[in-house]
Amino acid sequence: MSLADVTAHWQNDPEGFWLRAAEAIDWTRVPERALDDSRAPFYRWFPDGELNIAYNALDRHVDAGRGEQAALHYDSPVTGTKRSYTYRELRDEVARFAGVLTGLGVGKGDRVVIYLPMIPEAAIAMLACARLGAVHSVVFGGFAPKELAIRIDDARPAVIVSASCGIEPGRVVEYLPLLDQAMELATHQPAHRIILQRPQAVARQTRSDVDWTAAMADAQPVPCVPVAATDPLYILYTSGTTGKPKGVVRDTGGYAVALRWTMGAVYGIEPGETMFTASDVGWVVGHSYIVYAPLLAGATTVLYEGKPVKTPDAGQFWRVVSEYGVRSMFTAPTAFRAIKKEDPDGTLARQYDLSGLRHLFLAGERLDPETYRWATELLGIPVIDNWWQTETGWPIVANPAGLGLLPIKAGSSTRPLPGWDVRVLDGSGNPVESGVDGAIVIKLPMAPGALTTLWGDDEQFVASYLSAYPGYYLTGDGGYLDEDGYLFIMGRTDDIINVAGHRLSTGGMEEILAAHPAVAECAVIGVADPVKGQVPRGLVVLKSGVDTDPAVLRAELVASVREQIGAVAALKEIDIVPALPKTRSGKILRKSMRLIADGRPANVPSTIEDPAVLEALRPVLRNS
């Protein structure tokens, strides 16, 4: 069935469509209703359904005879380690770690923060929470203690699971000092910390810390706890326009149904086949397509610890693809730009047998036409852009490999998938003509698996996403639909930037720069970068009378962002400028500055207060 046929089925009978998709999931109480809209705009999927998603990801496959099939290959060139888990082994590990958590008093609805590098224990901890009906919140290892502390205070976990270290190229990142600092900053103190010791750095645990290995040695497996389909599975924090991250709440049943559906329809993966998603479990792509979706489908997933390049070379992705017989690969375009920079002729790729690879999926940031062409020529397979967000949990727009590919248009992620009624509106909320840029919104209700609210903050959920255009979800992206219904994303309409596929708030960085005693005002803009897509750039105006060495000040500002947000923020360039261009009402002209920095024509608004300020900045901005 083609995308057009499937979309027509969904449009004619959306609830029937998702109830049929729900048949691919094992329920302890099969849902009879698809959608509860009684509290709109708070929609709930499968309100009468009950299930356990970890059972669906693991036990069900063991019971059905897949026990000896590989569920997860851990491949870590940075530590020289490879380890595979069969479905039976992974289920047993998860059941025992769930036993460890139970022993510490964790039960249904309790939160568990997971601050782990890309090791199998991250997936085990997530699935163990799911087994108990506990709510996990994975925090990306590249975030600094302050970011971790904010998440701890918001989620109020009973337990934190962490490790002695993560590995970045050329350095071992010790996690315990970061964790200790985060707990000093946080008001909420979790009752327990479980620490996995890695041989690369043995951490000095406190007496109250629980040692992962010792606890697992004594642990008893515990059974799956059925939960309501509408119960939260996890909280995943993502950048908003200020320094306070948003706690995206994911439901259980809607997510399970939607992810299972995408594995065949979008990613073209059948049970028993292998998918390799090169991301991090700290991001939504990792939650959905390293952990949950491949396992829900009875497929094999690859959990890769390392970078695409320099660990030790730019051929590691190709080695993984050939070694594990990968059928579909998924990563961010930035990874391909990094590989292309190191191996422009694809010499390393040709050293491996990539004949089993059918599709390459790219998401997380704009797929620039040059990277699209390079990857297509290198691999000779369809390179499929897909557009989505932490909030949606799975692709909104894609070219569905399992339904028959549509012609690819470079620069477009193709057409909306069933479940998502995508519209483009102008500033007054009216639909624009095809080909005309506007705000991309989704008509409510959104598909199963989309966020149900922000953790503990229904009001903020409505204010952030649902109030700009009543009846629609505001994606925060701008772009247009062409005459064939293909969507072209042109970039964010807010202060969020995308650095190496990592979503970051420039507002959050501005808050840190502005707190420096020498800074009167500042702006952070995202400027084009050949590998990372975008990088932040700071512009600061000093308080009058400040007489600091500019080099020292710049270093202090860079260090403070690194210390407070983390190295991933990648703010390395700061310009000290005499003034910032503003409108007469005092709004800083960030967009005009960004366009000038990128060498693009900038429409200077007629409301500009003093055009000379912007003119004076041109040479500084162009000199990046």
Q: Which spans of this chain sit near ligand COA (rule: CB under 6 A)?
A: 141-142, 166, 168, 173, 278-280, 283, 285, 307-309, 331-332, 334-335, 338, 364, 500-502, 531, 567-568, 570
SS3 of residue 282 by DSSP: coil
498 binds ligand AMP (CB under 6 A): yes
Element (H, E) at 598: none
Q: State how far the Cα of 332 lies from the Cα of 225, in Å rounded to an integer.
A: 35
Closer CB to ligand AMP, 386 or 505, in the complex:
386
Q: How long a stretch of residues is the chain?
A: 624
Closer CB to ligand AMP, 122 or 397, in the complex:
397
503 binds ligand AMP (CB under 6 A): yes
Residue from 390, 464, 534, 564 binding ligand AMP (CB under 6 A): 390
Q: Look at residue 24 and give the partner it binds from ligand COA, ligand AMP, none, a contact being a CB closer than 5 to 8 Å depending on partner kind.
A: none
489 binds ligand AMP (CB under 6 A): yes
Closer CB to ligand COA, 89 or 365, in the complex:
365
- The token duo for 101 is 């958590």
Amino acid identity at 316: Q
Report, in Å, the least distance between residue 89 CB and ligand COA: 26
Report, in Å, the least distance between residue 279 CB and ligand AMP: 10
* Helix axis angle, 333-342 to 369-379, nearest 10°: 70
- 76, HSE (Cβ side, Cα atoms, 13 Å): 20
Q: State how far the Cα of 237 lies from the Cα of 247, in Å rounded to an integer.
A: 4
Closer CB to ligand AMP, 127 or 284, in the complex:
284
Query: 230, 281, 485, 255: which is closest to 392 by C-alpha?
Result: 255
Amino acid identity at 529: D
Q: State how far the Cα of 386 lies from the Cα of 247, in Å rounded to an integer.
A: 23
Span 468-487, contacts to ligand AMP by CB under 6 A: 475-477
- Does the CA dihedral 209-213-216-218 come out positive or negative? negative
119 Cβ neighbours under 8 A, 6+ residues apart: 74, 76, 163, 196, 198, 303, 305
Q: Look at residue 476 and give the partner it binds from ligand AMP, ligand COA, none, a contact being a CB closer than 5 to 8 Å depending on partner kind.
A: ligand AMP
Report, in Å, the least distance between residue 286 CB and ligand COA: 7
Whether 488 and 559 have beta carbons less than 8 Å apart is answered as no
Report, in Å, the least distance between residue 537 CB and ligand COA: 15
Report, in Å, the least distance between residue 19 CB and ligand AMP: 28
Whether 261 and 314 have beta carbons less than 8 Å apart is answered as no
Report, in Å, the least distance between residue 232 CB and ligand COA: 22
Report, in Å, the least distance between residue 280 CB and ligand COA: 5
Q: State how far the Cα of 491 lies from the Cα of 119, in Å rounded to an integer.
A: 33
Say which residue the tokens 């609830």 belong to: 15
Binding marks (x or -) toward ligand AMP, 350..389, rule CB under 6 A? -------------xxxxx-----------------xxxxx
Report, in Å, the least distance between residue 369 CB and ligand AMP: 12
Binding interface with ligand AMP (CB under 6 A): 238, 283-284, 363-367, 385-390, 413, 475-477, 489, 492, 498, 503
